[in-house]
A and B are shown apart, each in its own frame.
Chain A
């Protein structure tokens, strides 16, 4: 069977910008290639200024590559029709404050050629998906940061795109809002939507992505399946619940008797500060 068309195919992308000082060229992206197959959740990670956003903008046709090419489902990114199948949430978007949540989605829907009952149904469906039904008629000027990100995610999905591109989707959002956005990304994955996510929040990327690329100073330094990249091949982890001290001693002795294996560490696994925060704040909200 023929291989499906990649959702994203970036080949040898180079992007130079002119700096204002002496018109010198600054290379923001240097020979980056990325291939994302349909249904994958791909995380592009890297420090600030490493070229993540420029790569995404090149993919969306917002900047033209100096060399190389970008394609979405086989269509050249510089052509407008490539955007039929993509939704984009930029970093820290503001949207139009004078529009309500429903009006915002209607505006973006109409831009994509949706109309009538189909558009109305789509708006209601997305407001429900991002949990903003109660704020549908409230103007965006009164939305919190997390709500703005969620309405941003909803507008990105208005025309049912097969690819969603998210640039720092949880930047500036509190842990609860961040968790909601993460859950939404997981819902997109369940629906088979390809997600191209860029972030410098590593834990978040680790939770939702199945493929990861690390970009540094414009160059792709590491890329592959997340499991392959983070697995420590020569170590094995066993997590036991309610183990008695005797059982631990027996296991330790057993490992000690082995000629090849050695015990690296025993102890209690720790939750993350984020999980602790979420548990405490969610309990407080429920009570």
Chain B
């Protein structure tokens, strides 16, 4: 059987991808997906009230509540971004096939790669915009609350007669738990993880005929991704089984094909107030880019041969 090949069409690839991405974004926005922002706002505000009593000294005042705001906000961002990226991607392609709108698009001079890349980009823009809006909301809540906490801390420290350098040190420590660049890096890491899931869902939806199948398998792989590194290490260290070249090759292929989401555990460290080194962010970006490209190119290979 001859393959369904691609070259030369009127208009540039980039423009067509942008047109399809813009359309996919509009389609999802008009499905009212931004309603979840109201839910996020409630969660971000409600997380202000999860303050366990802890009054050992000025440095402890309100730390739990700042951690709680970050933890709930980043957790909700992760949930929404992963659900959105999987469900939206799983929905778009089968819907176009079912409604036969795909025929009208592919009957135009649109290479199949442009179609896939456009759909994925549309979902990623939606996830990015959603995360950006949630990030703004979280930053505002965190800024207000950390200012209030800092005022309380300084007042208590001054009342207890702390020296000025200790107060400055307290101010710096509290700032680490407030809105900072590490937190923005963590939000970007959430986006990278969602991007990997969106491109994975795209790959699955190219050979699956049902949105439900794509969604379930994607979530399954998402959960596997959180412990695959442990499983791989345990296998390689389990006596003779892990010593062979074949076993090591298999483990390598496994890690190249299935994303290891333990790399994204740095988000938890940021919640605890630790900094995120630039190199860690660069490493995460490269991991995200690798898997997104790998899954998108694999999707194209499947989709290029698909018949409708």
**A residues at B contact (CB < 8 Å):** 57, 60-66, 78-81, 83-84, 86-96, 98-99, 107-108, 110-113, 152, 155-156, 159, 165
> Which residues of chain B from 71 to 108 have a CB within 8 Å of any chain A CB?
99-101, 103-108
Known contacts A80-B110, A113-B15; is A108 also within 8 Å of B10 by CB? no
Name the A residues within 8 Å of B12 (CB-CB): 113
Known: A111-B19, A111-B108. A64 touches B4 (CB 8 A): yes
Residue B16 CB within 8 A of the other chain: yes
- Within 16-71 of B, Cβ neighbours of A (below 8 Å) are at 16, 19-20, 23, 26-27, 30-31
Kindly list 8 other residue pairs between chains A and B, CB separation below 8 angstroms, not including A81-B9, A96-B23, A111-B108.
A63-B307, A78-B4, A79-B6, A80-B7, A93-B103, A98-B30, A111-B110, A159-B10
Can you pick out 5 interface pairs between chain A and chain B where the beta carbons lie within 8 Å of each other?
Answer: A60-B103, A80-B6, A80-B109, A98-B31, A110-B15
B305: nearest chain-A partner, CB-CB? A64
Are B107 and A62 neighbours in the complex by a CB distance under 8 Å? yes
A157 CB, min distance to chain B CBs, angstroms: 12
Q: Are the C-beta atoms of B101 and A111 separated by less than 8 Å?
A: no
Chain A hits for B3, CB < 8 A: 64, 78
Chain B residues at the A interface, C-beta cutoff of 8 Å: 1-12, 15-16, 19-20, 23, 26-27, 30-31, 99-101, 103-111, 305, 307-308
User: Is the beta-carbon distance between B107 and A64 smaller than 8 angstroms?
Assistant: no
Indicate if the CB atoms of A63 and B9 lie closer than 8 Å: no
CB of A112 within 8 A of CB of B23, answer no
Chain A residues contacting B305 (CB-CB under 8 Å) are 64
Bound state CA distance, A149 and B12, in angstroms? 29
Q: Contact check, B99 vs A80: say whether CB atoms are below 8 A apart.
A: no
* Beta-carbon contact of B2 and A108 below 8 Å: no
Chain A residues whose C-beta falls within 8 Å of the C-beta of B20 in the assembled complex: 111
| Cα of A171 to Cα of B305 in the assembled complex, Å | 30
Q: Within the assembled complex, what's the spacing in Å between the Cα atoms of A43 and B30?
A: 39
**B27 touches which one: A63, A96, A113 (CB < 8 A)?**
A96
**A156 vs B9: C-alpha distance in the bound complex, in angstroms?**
17
Min distance, Cβ A213 to any Cβ of chain B, angstroms: 21
Q: CA of A60 to CA of B30 in the docked complex: distance in angstroms?
A: 31
Interface centre among B5, B26, B31, B104 (most CB of A within 10 A): B104
Chain B residue contacts of A78, Cβ below 8 A? 2-5
Contact B110 A93 (CB under 8 A): no
Q: How far is the CA of A92 from the CA of B98 in the complex (A)?
A: 11
Q: Could you say which residues of chain B place their CB within 8 Å of the CB of A93?
A: 99-101, 103-104
Given contacts A80-B9, A107-B23, A112-B10, contact A62 B104 (CB under 8 A): no
Indicate if the CB atoms of B10 and A113 lie closer than 8 Å: yes
Residues of B within 8 A of A99 (CB): 26
A residues in contact with B99, CB < 8 Å: 93-95
Say yes or no: B10 contacts A84, CB within 8 Å.
yes
Q: Across chains A and B, which 6 residue pairs bring their CB atoms closest together, nearest first? A: A113-B11, A88-B107, A94-B99, A98-B30, A113-B10, A80-B9
* A155-B110 Cα distance, complex, nearest whole Å: 14
B10 and A64 within 8 A (CB): no
Select from chain A the residue with minimum beta-carbon distance to B27: A98
Find chain A residues with CB under 8 A from B8 CB.
Answer: 79-81
Measured between alpha carbons, how far is A152 from B23 in the docked complex, in Å? 18
Q: Knowing A64-B3, A94-B100, say if A110 contacts B19 (CB, 8 Å).
A: yes
Q: How far is the CB of B208 from chain A (nearest CB, A)?
A: 16
Q: Which of chain B's residues have a CB closer than 8 A to the CB of A111?
A: 11, 16, 19-20, 105, 108-110
Bound Cα distance A65, B274 (Å): 60
Complex CA–CA separation, A91 to B20 (angstroms):
23
Which of A65, A90, A96, A159 is within 8 Å of B108, CB to CB? Answer: A159
In the complex, chain A residues whose CB is within 8 Å of the CB of B6: 79-80
Taken together as a complex, chains A and B put the C-alpha atoms of A203 and B180 apart, in Å, by 73
A64-B1, A80-B111 as given contacts; A108 in contact with B11, CB under 8 Å: no
Which residues of B lie under 8 Å from residue A62 when comparing CB positions?
103, 106-107, 307-308
B106 and A155 contacting across the interface, CB-CB below 8 Å: no
Shortest Cβ gap from B223 to chain A (Å): 31
List the A residue with the shortest CB-CB distance to B6. Answer: A80
Closest A residue, CB atoms, query B10 = A113
Contact A61 B27 (CB under 8 A): no
| Chain B residues near A81 (CB-CB < 8 A) | 7-10, 109
Q: Are A84 and B109 within 8 A (Cβ)? A: yes
A152 cross-chain contacts in B, Cβ below 8 A: 104
Shortest C-beta distance, A264 to chain B (Å), equals 47
CA distance A159 to B110 in the complex (A): 13
Query: Given the complex, which residues of B lie within 8 Å of A155, measured CB to CB?
Result: 104
A98-B30, A111-B16 are known contacts. Are A64 and B110 too (CB-CB below 8 A)?
no
Chain A contacts for B308, CB-based, 8 A: 57, 62-63
Q: How far is the CA of A190 from the CA of B104 in the complex (A)?
A: 24
